[in-house]
Structure 1
Amino acid sequence: MDGRTLSRRGLGRWGSWTLLGRSLFILSLLVAYVLAFRAVEFDPANILQNLHHLRNLLGKMYPPDFSHFDQLIRPLIQTLQISFLGTLFGALLAIPLVAFGTQVVIRNPWIYWPIRSLMNLLRTVPDLVYAVLFVVAFGYDHGPLAGMVALSVFSCSIIAKLASESADNINRRPIEAIEATGASKFQVIRYAVIPQLLPAFIDHTIYVFELNVRVAAVMGYVGAGGIGQQLLTQLDLLKYDTVFAIILTIFALVVVIDFVGNRIRDALLHGLRMPFPVQVLTWVALGWTAVWSLLSLDVNPERVLIGLGYLKNLLWAIVSSPAMEFFNISISRMWESLLIAFVGTTLSFILAFPLGFLASRKYTGIPSQVAFWVKQIPGAIRAFPELILAIFFIASFGPGPLPGVLAIAIHSIGMLGKMNAEAVEKIRKEQVEALQATGANRAQVFRFGILPQVLPEFLALAIYRFEINVRASTVLGIVGAGGIGMLINEALQLRQWNIIGLCLLVIIPVVIVIDFISERIRRKLIEGSHSA
C-alpha cells in the first residue's frame, strides 16, 4: 500500500470530483468567505490600525487590583453554589427524560418522539436567554435563585441529550434477558439500563458542571447572581484593574474545576472504583453541600412556585403576540449572528489545526516538553468564557459584530485545539507504519498517513463547534457584540416582551435546522473516514 493509495482512500469522494467541479467549489467557498468577512466587519488592516486601543486597555488593566479580593469571595462561592445546584437539579430532571427518551427501553414512538422533541427544544434556547427570562420572572432581588433555576433547565437539556445518546448505544442483551422474564419497565430500567448507563451519566453530569461554572460566572451580567454582577459593577465604574482581577479569578476557578473534573472523569473512564467508605463520605459531602447551598441562596419552594407562575405569564406574553413588524429586522440580525458564528469558527479551525498536532507526540515527532506546554494553551484559552472575551473586545474596538467574531474565534481555538489533539492521539498506526516501512520521509508520512485519518474528524469537530457557536452568537449581542442578541437587549431594556418572543421564534427554528444539518454532515464525515 503506497502513499497515493492511502491518499485516495483518505480523500474519499473528493478524489472523484472533476477538476472543474473542484475549482468551482473552491471558488464559491472563497467568495462566500470574502462576503462573510466583510459583513462582520473583519478587516485585518483596520484591526491592526486600532490595536493601540487594545494596548491602552491592557495598560489600564495591568497590574490587576486585588486589594478588594475579600469582596469577591462571597460572589465566587455563590457562583459555585449556583453551578452546583443547577447541575444537581438538572441531572435529576434529566433522569425521566433519559428513561423515556431512548428507544432501547421505550419502543412506543408516541412516547419516545415527544420526549426527544422536548429535549431538542430545550437545547435550542441559549443559556443566557434562560437567565434573562428567569431573572425577569423571579425579580432582580432573587437573582441567584433565578440563575440556579435557569441553569437547572439548561443542564437538564444538555445532560438528557448526552445521556440519551449513550443509552441508545448500551448492550441490549441484558435488557432482552430481563424482559424475557416478564419484568416491568421499571425493573428493566433498574436492573439492565442503570448499571450500564450510570458511569456515562455521571461523566456527562461532571462535564456539565464544568460548563456551568463558566456560564454562572457571566450570568450575573444579566442579574442572575454570582461574580458576574461584580464584573458588571466594576465595568460600569471603569475600574479596569479590578475587572482584570475578577477575570483572573474566574480564570483560576475554571482551571481548577476543569482539572478536578478531568481527573474524576478519567478515573471513571478507566473503571476505577472508590472504596466503600470513600463513596459514603463523597455522598455525605455532596448532600451537605446541597443543603448548605440551598440555605445560603435562600431557595424557598414558595418563592420558586411564585416565580414559575410569573414565568408562565411572561412566556404567554412573549409567544401570544410576537411583534411581527420587527420580523425583517430580526431575520437580518439572526443572519448576522450566523455569520459571526461562521467566521469565528473558520478562524478557530485554521488556528487550532496546527495546535492539534503540536500538542500530540504520537507519530508527529514533536518533543515531549514542547507537546506538554503546547497542550496547556487550549486549556488556558478555554477558561475564558465568550462573553468576557466579547466585553474585552468591545472595550477595545467598540460595539458591533467584530468583537463577537473575535470572542468566538479565541474561545473556540481552546475547544478545538483540545479535541484536535485527542483526535491525533487516536491515529491508527497501521497506515503510518506501512509508509515508514517504505522509507517515506516525515513529510510524506504526515501527508499520506496522518492527515487523511484526522482531517475528517477535524472537520466534524469544527462543524459541531459551529453548531455550538450559533447559540453563543445569539446572546453575545446582549453585551453589544452584534447579532440578534442586540435586538433582545434593546427589547429587554424597554420591557417589550413581544419583540423578545419574535426573537425566540426566529432563533429556535434556525438552531433546530443547524443542528439537524450539522448532525447529518458529521455522521457522513465520520462514516466516510471509518470506511476509508
Structure 2
Amino acid sequence: MAQWTERARLSGEVWLRRFGFSLGLLLLLALYGWALRGVEFDLSSIFKYGGKFFELLGRMYPPDFSALPQLVRPLLQTIQMATLGTFLGALMALPLVVFGSQLVVRSALIYWPVRAFMNILRTIPDLLYAVLFVAAMGFGPAAGVGALSFFACAIIAKLTSESADNINPKPIEAVEAVGANKLQVIRYAVLPQLIPSFIDHVIYVFELNVRVSAVMGYVGAGGMGMQLTTAMEWRNYPQVLTIALLIFALVIIIDMIANRIRDAFVQGIKLHPVVRWLEWGILAGLIVWSFISLEVDLTRLRRGFGYFSNLVWAITTEPATEYLGLAIQRMVQSLQIALVGTTLSFLLSFPLGFLASRRYVGIPVALAVSMKQIPNIIRAFPELILAIFFIATFGPGPLPGVLAIAIHSIGMLGKFNAEIVEKIRKEPVEALQSSGASRLQVFRYAVLPQVLPEFLALFIYRFEINVRAASVLGIVGAGGIGSLINEAQSYRAWDIVGICLVVIIPTVMAIDFLSARIRKKLIEG
C-alpha cells in the first residue's frame, strides 16, 4: 500500500511538472506571437525588401573620401564630447557612490534616497538625455557634453556603488576605532579600495560615450551625428558610408586603446613614475583641449544643468496626461521591439559563441580566431546608425528597430558567449568522451548544462539594455515610444515628452528589478 502511495505521489509530481512545462511553453509562444504581431515582423517582407538594403549599400559605394577634410572637425568634436562627458560624469558620480554605499553611510534616510536617485538616472536613455539638453541649452556640442555627463554619471555610479558594497569593511572599522570622522574614513579607508574599480568603470563608460557621442548629433547635440543627418537628408549616400566608416574606425581604435589600458591596470603593471606622470599630463591636456576647442565653460554648463533639471521637473510634474494611453501603447511596442530583437540576436549569437571558442568544442584555430572578430566588428556600429540604414530599406516603423537591435546585440552576446564557453569545466566533457559518447551527446549532457544558465542570464541582461535602446530608436523613425517623443519634440510639446518620461522611468525600473532577480536565480540555480 505504501509503495503504491509513493508511486502515485511520484506520478503526480511528474504530471504536474509536465503540465507546468506545457503551460509555460504555451504562454511563451503566445507572448512571442503577440510581440511579433506588434512589431509587424514578417519574414516574407524581409526577404522581399531585403534586397533593397544591398541596393542601398551599392549606392553608397564607393565612399566619398573627398569629404574627409570637412569631417575631421566633427570627428574630433565627437572625441572631445566623449572626453568631457566622461570626466564630468565621473566627478558627479563620486559623491553618489560614497553616499550610496551602506558600508559608508549607515543611515537609511541618506542611503535609500541616493540609491533611488541613481536608479532614476539610469532609466533615462542616452538619446533622450540629448533631446532634453538640446531643449535646455540649444543646439551644439555643449548640449552633447551635458547629456553625456548625466549618462556617464548614471552608469559609473551604478557600477561603482555595487563595487562599494563589496569592499573590505575592516579598514573602515579600524579607522573609525581611532576616532576618525566620516571624511577621514572616506579618504583613508573607502577611496583606496574603490579607486581601481572606479577607474575601470570610467574607462568602460568612455568607450560607451564615444559610441553615443557619434550619433547624438542626430538630435542636434554636436559631433558626427549632425553630419550624418545632413548627408541622409540630401541622400548623399557615398558620404553617409564615409561617415559610417569613420565612426566604425573611431570606435574600434578607442576600444583597442581602452582595453589595453584596462588590462594593464587590472594586471597591476608597474610604470615608471615619469611614464605615470606623462599619462596624467596627457589626460589633463586632453580635457583642457576639449574644454577650449568646444568653447564650453563651466559657468555655461552649470547653468545648462540647472535649465535641464528645471525642464525635467516641469514636464514630469505637469505632463500631458491626456496622452498617457498613447504613451503606454508606444512603450509596449518598445518592449516588443526589445524582446523580438534580443531573441533574434540570441538565436544568431548562440552558435557564434561556440564557433569563436576553441575550448572543448573542436573548432579549428583559424575559424575560431576569425569568428571572434565578428562580434567586435558588429559592436562598433551603434543601433541608431543601423536603424537609419534599415529605415532607408524598409521604411519607418518598428521592424527597422527590431533589426537594428538584433544586429547590434549580436556583438555583445557573441563576445560574452564565447567567453562563457572558454570557462567550461573539462571534467564532465572528458568523462563522457572516455565513455565513448558521441560529440552530440557530449554537447547535450556536458557542455550545454554548463553554459545555458549563463547564456540565458546574458540574454535577460541584454533585453534590459535593449529596452532603453528601443525607447529612443523611434526618434529616427524606428517605432516605439521614441516616435511619440520625436513628434512632441518637433512641435516643442515638452509636456508630451514629460508623459513619455513618466511612462519610461517606472517601466525601465521594473524591468531592471525583474532582470536582476531572474539573472541571480539563473546563475545561483
Between 177-186 and 450-459, report the one with greater CA deviation: 177-186
Match of 2:262 among 240, 261, 265: 265
The CA deviation at 1:114 is 1.0
C-alpha separation in 2, matches of 1:104 and 1:114: 16
Over 3 Å counting, the alpha-carbon distance change for 1:322 and 1:478 in structure 2 is same
Match runs of 1:21-420 below 5 Å: 21-140=20-139, 143-420=140-417
User: Mind listing any 5+ residue stretches in structure 2 that lack a counterpart?
Assistant: 1-12
C-alpha separation in 2, matches of 1:116 and 1:164: 9
Over 3 Å counting, the alpha-carbon distance change for 1:437 and 1:195 in structure 2 is farther
The CA deviation at 1:19 is 2.0
User: Mind listing any 5+ residue stretches in structure 1 that lack a counterpart?
Assistant: 1-13
Aligned to 1:68, what secondary structure does the other structure show? helix
Over 3 Å counting, the alpha-carbon distance change for 1:289 and 1:15 in structure 2 is farther
2:483 counterpart of 1:486: yes
Over 3 Å counting, the alpha-carbon distance change for 1:193 and 1:308 in structure 2 is closer
C-alpha separation in 1, matches of 2:307 and 2:161: 31
Aligned to 1:50, what secondary structure does the other structure show? helix
C-alpha separation in 2, matches of 1:16 and 1:138: 63
C-alpha separation in 1, matches of 2:427 and 2:120: 43
The CA deviation at 1:470 is 0.3
The CA deviation at 1:200 is 1.1
Tell whether the 8 Å contact from 2:146 to 2:304 is kept in structure 1 after alignment. no
C-alpha separation in 1, matches of 2:228 and 2:452: 40
The CA deviation at 1:422 is 1.1
After superposition, give the CA deviation of every residue in 1:31-62 in whole Å (9 maximum; x if it has no partner). Answer: 22122112101111111111232232112111
Between 277-286 and 182-191, report the one with greater CA deviation: 182-191
The CA deviation at 1:178 is 2.5
Tell whether the 8 Å contact from 1:456 to 1:526 is kept in structure 2 after alignment. yes
C-alpha separation in 2, matches of 1:61 and 1:113: 52
After superposition, give the CA deviation of every residue in 1:50-109 in whole Å (9 maximum; x if it has no partner). Answer: 123223211211111111111111100000000001001111111111111111222211
Aligned to 2:222, what secondary structure does the other structure show? coil
The CA deviation at 1:309 is 4.1
C-alpha separation in 1, matches of 2:371 and 2:278: 37
Over 3 Å counting, the alpha-carbon distance change for 1:237 and 1:201 in structure 2 is same
The CA deviation at 1:123 is 0.3
C-alpha separation in 2, matches of 1:320 and 1:23: 45
The CA deviation at 1:370 is 1.0
- In the other structure, the counterpart of 2:518 is 521
After superposition, give the CA deviation of every residue in 1:424-456 in whole Å (9 maximum; x if it has no partner). Answer: 112223322333343333222221111111100
Number of aligned residue pairs: give it.
513
The CA deviation at 1:313 is 4.1
Sequence identity, in percent? 64
Tell whether the 8 Å contact from 2:401 to 2:478 is kept in structure 1 after alignment. yes
C-alpha separation in 1, matches of 2:448 and 2:209: 34
C-alpha separation in 1, matches of 2:264 and 2:313: 46
Aligned to 1:18, what secondary structure does the other structure show? helix
C-alpha separation in 2, matches of 1:169 and 1:317: 38
The CA deviation at 1:195 is 2.2
Tell whether the 8 Å contact from 1:317 to 1:497 is kept in structure 2 after alignment. no
Letter in 2 for 1:192: A
C-alpha separation in 2, matches of 1:105 and 1:17: 48
C-alpha separation in 2, matches of 1:371 and 1:81: 36
Given the two structures, how large is their TM-score scaled by the length of structure 1? 0.94
After superposition, give the CA deviation of every residue in 1:336-355 in whole Å (9 maximum; x if it has no partner). Answer: 00000000001011111111
C-alpha separation in 2, matches of 1:117 and 1:297: 33
The CA deviation at 1:272 is 1.8
Letter in 1 for 2:92: L
Between 513-522 and 310-319, report the one with greater CA deviation: 310-319
Tell whether the 8 Å contact from 2:131 to 2:219 is kept in structure 1 after alignment. yes
The CA deviation at 1:307 is 2.6
Tell whether the 8 Å contact from 1:214 to 1:254 is kept in structure 2 after alignment. yes
- In the other structure, the counterpart of 1:499 is 496
Letter in 2 for 1:296: S
- In the other structure, the counterpart of 1:4 is none
C-alpha separation in 2, matches of 1:438 and 1:262: 42
Between 323-332 and 463-472, report the one with greater CA deviation: 323-332
Aligned to 2:246, what secondary structure does the other structure show? helix
Aligned to 1:353, what secondary structure does the other structure show? helix
Aligned to 1:384, what secondary structure does the other structure show? coil
Tell whether the 8 Å contact from 2:60 to 2:238 is kept in structure 1 after alignment. yes
Given the two structures, how large is their TM-score scaled by the length of structure 2? 0.95
The CA deviation at 1:15 is 9.3
Aligned to 1:364, what secondary structure does the other structure show? coil
Aligned to 1:105, what secondary structure does the other structure show? coil
Between 73-82 and 48-57, report the one with greater CA deviation: 48-57
C-alpha separation in 2, matches of 1:337 and 1:521: 21
C-alpha separation in 2, matches of 1:499 and 1:251: 35
The CA deviation at 1:250 is 0.2
Tell whether the 8 Å contact from 1:91 to 1:205 is kept in structure 2 after alignment. yes
Tell whether the 8 Å contact from 1:473 to 1:483 is kept in structure 2 after alignment. yes
Letter in 1 for 2:311: L
